[in-house]
């Protein structure tokens, strides 16, 4: 693993480990801000908890565990996707700059919104990062190409060997017996 991955993944994960831990410990501190986003989502997704505090705690747990997995490089691709899935509603709930009346607060909320958007971009890149190893898709495409090439070579060698054998058979058939 490259030095950039060794340093970059924990740096990206640090915010989610800290924020996730805070959400697990005291979800009531962010539940009022999360309410407008959590309730419509929990109404549509039956497996999510009905109470806002429980949904915030679940989101925090996903961010905490996903952050730890991402930081350590274990299952980092699914961990990054899981964190990204929790970041979208978190951002929409916590940084609603378009609803702010105070210009200074609007600027601050827009900065935080864009910061979260940037972190989402980093998570999507991390979710696509194969750690310098070829992805399964790349490996399967190249294995299929190699098989086609090998089959073509076998076909050519069979044809190349068949011509002299056929000629020898014709000559042998003409010889007296």
Q: What is the pLDDT of residues 18-60, one digit of tens each?
A: 999 999 999 998 888 888 888 888 888 888 888 889 999 999 9
Q: Is the pTM of this model over 0.85?
A: no
Q: Quick one: 107 and 152 in the same domain?
A: no
Say how many domains are in the chain.
2
Q: What mean pLDDT comes out for the span 141-167?
A: 88
Q: Quick one: 57 and 102 in the same domain?
A: yes
What are the C-alpha distances in Å from 138 to residues 10, 30, 116?
Answer: 27, 43, 31
Q: Is the pLDDT of residue 137 over 80?
A: no
Q: What confidence score (pLDDT) does residue 117 get?
A: 95
Q: Quick one: 18 and 101 in the same domain?
A: yes
Which residues touch 124 (CB under 8 Å, ≥6 apart)? 80, 84
Average pLDDT, the chain: 89
Q: Which residue range forms the structural domain that includes residue 167?
A: 134-177
Task: Give the C-alpha separation, 73 to 13, whole Å.
Answer: 10
Q: Which of 26, 32, 95, 92 is closest to 60 using CA atoms? A: 26
Task: Give the C-alpha separation, 108 to 105, whole Å.
Answer: 5
Q: What confidence score (pLDDT) does residue 141 get?
A: 87
């Amino acid at each position: 693993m490259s030095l950039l991955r060794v340093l970059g993944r924990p740096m990206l994960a640090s915010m989610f480990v800290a924020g996730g831990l805070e959400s697990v410990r005291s979800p009531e501190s962010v539940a009022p801000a999360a309410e407008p986003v959590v309730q419509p989502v929990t109404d549509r997704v039956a497996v999510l908890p009905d109470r806002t505090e429980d949904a915030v705690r679940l989101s925090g747990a996903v961010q905490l565990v996903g952050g730890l997995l991402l930081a350590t490089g274990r299952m980092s691709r699914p961990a990054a996707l899981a964190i990204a899935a929790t970041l979208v509603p978190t951002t929409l709930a916590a940084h609603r700059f378009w609803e702010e009346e105070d210009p200074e607060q609007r600027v601050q909320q827009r900065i935080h919104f864009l910061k979260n958007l940037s972190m989402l971009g980093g998570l999507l890149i991390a979710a696509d990062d194969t750690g310098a190893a070829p992805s399964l898709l790349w490996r399967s495409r190249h294995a299929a190409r190699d098989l086609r090439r090998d089959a073509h070579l076998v076909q050519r060698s069979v044809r190349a060997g068949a011509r002299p054998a056929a000629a020898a058979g014709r000559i042998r058939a003409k010889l007296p017996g």
